[in-house]
Each structure stands twice: as C-alpha cells, then as structure tokens.
Chains A and B, each alone.
Chain A
Amino acid sequence: MKAFAPNQSNETFVLNLGPQHPATHGVLRIKLVMDGEYIVEAEPVLGYIHRMHEKMGENRTWAQFLPNTGRMDYLHALAYNHCYVSVVERANGIEVAERAEYIRVITSELNRISSHLLWFGAFVLDLGGFSPLLYAFDDREHILDLLETVTGSRLTYCYFRFGGVCNDIDENFVAGARAFITRMRERMPMYHALVTKNIILMKRLQEIGPVSAEMCRKYGATGPVARGSGINFDVRKHEPFSIYSQLDFDVPVYPQGDSMARYMVRMDEIEQSLRIIEQGLEKLPDGPVIAPKIPKTLKPAKGDYYHAVETARGSFGIRAVSDGTNTPYRLKLRTPSYSNLILFGEACRGMLLPDALALLGSLDLVIPEIDR
C-alpha cells in the first residue's frame, strides 16, 4: 500500500473538494490538507442538502411522513419505506398481510439491485470508465419499468402502507420479474468479464483504502463496508424482519478490507437478491395486500421504538419516540452512509488523491441521507 508518513516540515496546502464535483455523488465537501498529491488530513463538511427530515417528522402525522422516507435515500427508497412502516407497525401492534410481506421483499430486493447497478455505473465512471454506466443503466431501466407498473414512480417510491402495500402485483409483474432474473443472470458474467477482471480496475481497487474490522466497529460502519472487512453482519440474517427468515440466501463476506472487497460484496449481493426474488415469486401466497381494520389515525402507546432494515448501503434504523398523539414526538433516522462516511477521515490519511476518490466511491454514499 502506498502510504507515507507526512513530514511536518513539508509545505502543505488546503484543497477543497466539492460541494460541486463530479465524483462526490451529491453535495459533499471535503477539506483536504495535501502534501503534493498525498492527503495529510481530510475533513468532510456536510449540510449542503440538509432537508430537515427529522424536524418534518415532528410536524407531520405518522402517515404524512411516508413520502419523506422515499427521499432520504432515493436509490433504495423501498427499504426506507419498509423500515418506517415496520417501526410504526411495531409501535401499534399491527400485523401485516402475508401477501404484502412477500411483495415488500420482492420489490425491495429489485430496488436493491437497481441501487447496486447505479452504484456500479457511477463508481466505474469515477475511476474513468464510461461504458459500464450505459450497460448498467440499461439493466436498471428494466427494473424501473417493473416497479413503475406497481408503484407509479421511477425513483422516490412511497409504495408501502401501514399493514401492507397500496397496490397488488399482477401476472405481468411476476412474468416480467422472472424474465428480468433470467436476463440479469446472463448479464452478470459479462460484467465480471468486462469490468471485474479488467487489469486497470484491479490495479485501481486492490489494496486501496484498507478498512479494518476494528475501525468498522469503532465507527459503526455496516453494510458492504463492514462485509468487505470480514464482518458477517446483515440485518436480514441478524435480526430477521418481514419474511427473510423463511428465505434461503447467502451473505457475501470478503476479508481483505480494500475497495476491491467492497466491490465484490456488492456484485455478489446482486446475485443473492436475484435468488431472494425467485424464491419470493415462487412462494407468493394469495390474499389481501393490506391488513384489515387499520385505524385512520394512528396513536401508538407512549415510549420509544426502534426498527432496523438492511438497505443497499447498510443498516438503516429509525428510533420513533411517541407521546401517544398522532404525530411523532421525535423521529431519529440512523442512516448507514452517515456512519460509513465518518471513517473516511481516518482511512484516507496518506493516500493519493485518486485513490481516496476510489475509496469514497467504494463506500457508496448518498449524501441526502447523510444530511437528512
């Protein structure tokens, strides 16, 4: 690894990365203290897209907050929907219709694949390769077509409701999803042959940006960042929610801790999500898609409740403090990119600037969920 110990007598200069930058995936500003091309210190500056989600949580009723959940991490919006409806269902003791549980898992995993595909395209674009973006977006458009027929939107979904989902899926969706699974399974070898085994990508990612397991623990990193450092932690297996305990899938874990490991974790997760969708479609039961008799105004009992889901970026958790009225007293959103970004300051010391950008891309950040 090309690290070096900065000599304090050398002259350093301050370089500003962002907030408008093609490689920061949103409005992130990083103040870099540089010694030539090497980074001495990095301080991320946030707040450029602070959209007051937690304040809105206190000003909206439990149901009115649903659209906000799709706009925090718009790439895997259904998982954020899922976490919010789950925490409210937990607080009110609402049981979800069984068909709806399967629909939630199927659509959420499709969304996960579309998020990973976008990450893949944008990451390789940061490293300098433009074509994989076009291939990835083509596949992603197939998923968006499928999800648009049931949810009505392409990006910021607000599809789940308390007790189920708002629309049922039909045979066209099931057939389309099965066709997509076949298509994606044929495309994955192409991605691996074209991109993963590409010598330039391997040189850019192997041994770049090492993150140790202890560092992950101290910073609270979860998701592919932790799994790329050898930590076997996936909320779907650790604290199974919805029907994940009845489905058979693996959790890819790579011990190396470098950017290549995080890349491989996400590529393998796409295949695992395809497995989950296949099983979900097979086991899909009939029935209603929303629980009967959900009260119009929800007033959960006093106290605080927590629920976590596994999103494409890590463990997303909501702590809902209720005071017995129809608006939340406090809604705390624990977003995975926030915890993943904190370790950037320590991890990028002594790295070359392009390598630091490779590390930043491999963390898969979505800045609006960091700033909330």
Chain B
Amino acid sequence: MILSTIRNALAAIHPEKIFETDYARKGFSLDVTVSADRIEEAVAVVDQNGFFIETITGVDWLGEKAAQQKEAAAKVAEKADAGAEDAATGKDEPLAPGAGNQVEPLVDDMEVIYDFNHYSDFCRVVIRVRIPRNAPKLKTISKIYPAALWHERETHDFFGIKFTGHPYLVPLLLPEDADFHPLLKDFNK
C-alpha cells in the first residue's frame, strides 16, 4: 500500500505533523506539515516514491494570530469567571500564560501547500509549510520537480514569497514590471 510506504518514509524525516485524513471528506489521503528547512528533504522523499506534483498553493493567514489570541483570551475570561465562582469552594484555576500581557506585535504566517498525486496508486499527499509573513522565504524544489519553476513563480507573483535558489523568479502571470502582490489580504489597489 503506497499510503503506508509514503507515510513511513515521510515520518522518518521528522515532520512537525503527519496524519492520515478521510479522503471522502477532504479529498486527500495524507497531510504532512514540515518546517521550512525540511521542505527539500520531504519533497525528495515524495519524488523517490514516484509521485507527481499537482500544484503549489500559497495562503495568506493575515489576522490569524490575532483571532487566535482573541479566542484564547475569551476562553481565559470564561475560566476566570468560573474560577471566581469556584474560589468560594476552594478551586483555583491558573491563568493562561501571557494573557492580557502581549507586548510584541504578532507576525502572521503564510502557508505554502504542495499537492502530490500518484499515477498508478491511489494516494494524494499534501505537504504544508508555514513561513513568517514579514520575511517569506522558502527553498525552491525546482531541482527535484521542474514543474515548480512555474508554480513557484506564480506563488511569488501572488504572495511575494521568495524561493531561494530559483533560477528565474520573474513575474509569470503579472506584467514584467509588476511590483504588487495581489492575493495578499492587505492588497488594496
């Protein structure tokens, strides 16, 4: 079964997260999150197992960390209320670390999603990488899959992600002199 083969092969390079997903619900079989410095290794493993590259997607998660913090603060407030009631009975809930104490500005992420598929066996593999939004850099995989030459150019066009080692990172879909990145969430033109 190619799914278990590729799962074991990818688990061997110590990704951040790896789990199987329900194909009928999500449309892919294996979901892997790696750190930005491991992307070449992960893609090499996938290539050795005979997969082909479907596409590379970029996602701009502007505002995600602020929203998560708000949620966490709301949960803490709920717990604090519950704690105030329980204090009379002796229970004491510790406050979440850092709540209400945020000083540094939040730096959101951009996510780059690599989709792989196999011609003969039924298995779709998704590899995710998160990079900081204010300095988006990622190593290119175009030496392994030449299709990435275009997929990465397009992702660079739309999000401004710099793929280090890419031999020709010029605009693909936008005009040659374009200096804007339209799919960023704070793009206003």
B110 to chain A, nearest CB (A): 11
Known: A220-B145, A342-B146. A319 touches B115 (CB 8 A): yes
Distance of A82 Cα from B124 Cα, bound (Å): 20
- Chain B stretch 134-174: residues in CB contact (< 8 A) with chain A: 145-147, 149-150, 158, 171-174
On chain A, which size bracket covers the interface?
35 or more
**Beta-carbon contact of A220 and B54 below 8 Å:** yes
Binary B-proximity of A293-321 (CB < 8 A = 1, otherwise 0): 00000000001111110000001010101
Flag whether A216 is at the interface (Cβ < 8 A). Answer: yes
Q: In the complex, which of the residues B27, B145, B146 has the most CB atoms of chain A within 10 Å of its own CB atom? A: B27
Select B55's contact among A319, A346, A371, beta carbons within 8 Å: A319
Distance of A87 Cα from B28 Cα, bound (Å): 12
B45 to chain A, nearest CB (A): 15
Binary B-proximity of A250-287 (CB < 8 A = 1, otherwise 0): 00000000000000000000000000000000000000
**Beta-carbon contact of B26 and A334 below 8 Å:** no
Q: Which residues of A contact B50 (CB under 8 A)?
A: 217
A164 to chain B, nearest CB (A): 19
Flag whether B127 is at the interface (Cβ < 8 A). Answer: no
**Beta-carbon contact of A303 and B26 below 8 Å:** yes
Give the size of the chain B interface in residues (CB under 8 angstroms): 34
Select B57's contact among A90, A93, A217, A332, beta carbons within 8 Å: A332
Residues of A within 8 A of B (CB): 46-47, 50, 52, 54-55, 58, 87, 90, 93, 216-220, 226, 231-233, 238-239, 303-308, 315, 317, 319, 321, 329-330, 332, 334, 338-339, 342, 346, 371-372
- Per CB-CB distance, the 9 closest pairs between chain A and chain B, nearest first, are A306-B27, A334-B55, A332-B57, A47-B173, A233-B119, A217-B52, A219-B147, A220-B147, A220-B53
**23 interchain pairs (CB within 8 A)?**
A47-B171, A47-B173, A50-B173, A52-B182, A54-B183, A87-B27, A90-B25, A93-B25, A217-B119, A220-B147, A238-B122, A306-B115, A308-B27, A317-B115, A319-B55, A319-B115, A332-B57, A332-B113, A334-B115, A339-B54, A342-B146, A346-B146, A371-B173
Residues of B within 8 A of A (CB): 24-28, 50, 52-55, 57, 59-60, 113, 115, 117, 119-120, 122, 124, 126, 145-147, 149-150, 158, 171-175, 182-183
